[in-house]
């Protein structure tokens, strides 16, 4: 069966789709015997990639959902398109209505069979579900790994804490990708949330632009001075491709700090102290 990695956020738009595309671009080929991963845009609020890259309305996520209705579900890869950045993806149509129903079908038993394939199928599915909700809980349960994507401030990190993901039930399977500047060290975030793996993804406008251009090209992820985002995402991809029992908590606290001033200059107290203060208004953080 294929490896299933579910990616989502608990609030806002921190960059789940961009992170999923970058992971697909740098996924280690040795992890799946050379089989390329497939990124699936499964956001119940509607897709972006179809419009972004000027793709036709079919194939799409709706074809995967239609296959799940059949007595013998079809192939996931039959609905995949080749994006200009060299990533293989199943894109979703814009609009909440059709996508919400498609995600509901995908979360069912038949939909999960389409995603995972049979015992002979190999590879990795990077499932971008957008904002987490009750409709994707069966997908979280079926996932080999879960990647939460959040910005690095006190507010978004506290939203992750308040979401109440059962980290004990998903022990060893949850990683947190913190996008952009963060005044808190990884060890503090990991300890407060109970998440073993915390990875910082820097702002990298050039890499994001390279992923979103309509002309064909290959994202550079190695060689002399590789882009910072792709370097960080490559580290994340290797952790996700390894067995969950081999997960090692991130110990490089300096990578998570804002260069100017540190966390005390930003908040005056640690984030773990902030989340323990009842009734604190978000606007005051």
Q: What is the rounded average pLDDT of the residues 13-26?
A: 93
Q: What is the pTM assigned to this prediction? A: 0.84
- Per-residue pLDDT band for 224 (boundaries 50, 70, 90) equals low
- Per-residue pLDDT band for 187 (boundaries 50, 70, 90) equals very high
- Per-residue pLDDT band for 214 (boundaries 50, 70, 90) equals low
- Per-residue pLDDT band for 42 (boundaries 50, 70, 90) equals very high
- 228-260: b or e for each residue (b if 16 or more CB lie within 10 Å)? ebbbbbbbbbebbbeebeebeebeeeebbbbee
- Per-residue pLDDT band for 217 (boundaries 50, 70, 90) equals low
Question: DSSP labels for 175-198?
Answer: EEEEES--SS-HHHHHHHHT-SEE
69: pLDDT strictly greater than 80: yes
Query: Pairing between strand 81-82 and 88-90?
Result: antiparallel
Give the least confident one: 19-28, 125-134, 161-170, 231-240. Answer: 161-170
More confident residue, 148 or 243: 148
* The pLDDT of residue 254: 36
* The pLDDT of residue 262: 36
- Whole-angstrom Cα distance, residue 178 to residue 198? 7
End-to-end CA distance of the chain: 45
Neighbours of 109 (CB within 10 A): 9
94: pLDDT strictly greater than 60: yes
Highest mean pLDDT among 61-65, 163-167, 203-207: 61-65
Q: Which of 87, 68, 95, 77 is nearest to 22 (CA)?
A: 87
Per-residue pLDDT tens for 246-272? 444 443 333 333 333 333 333 445 656
Per-residue pLDDT tens for 114-131? 999 988 899 999 999 999
Burial of 122 (0-12, 13-18, 19+ CB in 10 A): middle
Confirm if 150 and 9 have CB atoms less than 8 A apart.
yes
* The pLDDT of residue 240: 95
Q: What is the rounded average pLDDT of the residues 40-54?
A: 94
């Amino acid at each position: 069966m294929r490896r299933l990695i579910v990616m989502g956020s608990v609030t806002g738009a921190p960059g789940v789709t961009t992170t999923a595309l970058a992971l697909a671009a740098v996924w280690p080929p040795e992890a799946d015997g050379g089989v390329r991963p497939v990124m699936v845009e499964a956001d119940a609020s509607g897709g972006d990639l179809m419009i972004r890259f000027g793709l036709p309305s079919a194939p799409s996520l709706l074809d995967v959902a239609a296959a799940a209705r059949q007595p013998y579900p079809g192939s996931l890869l039959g609905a995949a398109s080749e994006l200009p950045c060299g990533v293989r993806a199943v894109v979703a149509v814009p609009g909440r209505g059709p996508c919400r129903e498609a995600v509901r079908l995908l979360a069912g038993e038949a939909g999960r069979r389409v995603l995972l394939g049979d015992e002979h199928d190999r590879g990795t599915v990077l499932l971008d579900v957008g904002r987490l909700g009750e409709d994707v809980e069966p997908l979280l349960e079926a996932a080999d790994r879960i990647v939460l994507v959040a910005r690095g401030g006190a507010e978004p990190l506290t939203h992750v804490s308040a979401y109440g993901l059962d980290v004990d039930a998903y022990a060893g399977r949850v990683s947190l990708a913190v996008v952009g500047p963060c005044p808190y060290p990884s060890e503090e975030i990991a300890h407060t949330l109970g998440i073993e793996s915390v990875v910082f993804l820097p702002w990298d406008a050039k890499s994001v632009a390279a992923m979103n251009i309509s002309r064909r090209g290959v994202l550079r992820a190695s060689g002399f001075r590789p882009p910072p985002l792709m370097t960080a995402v490559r580290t994340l991809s290797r952790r996700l491709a390894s067995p969950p029992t081999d997960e090692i908590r991130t110990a490089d606290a300096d990578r998570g700090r804002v260069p100017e001033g540190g966390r005390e200059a930003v908040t005056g107290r640690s984030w773990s102290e902030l989340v323990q203060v009842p009734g604190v208004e978000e606007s005051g953080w």
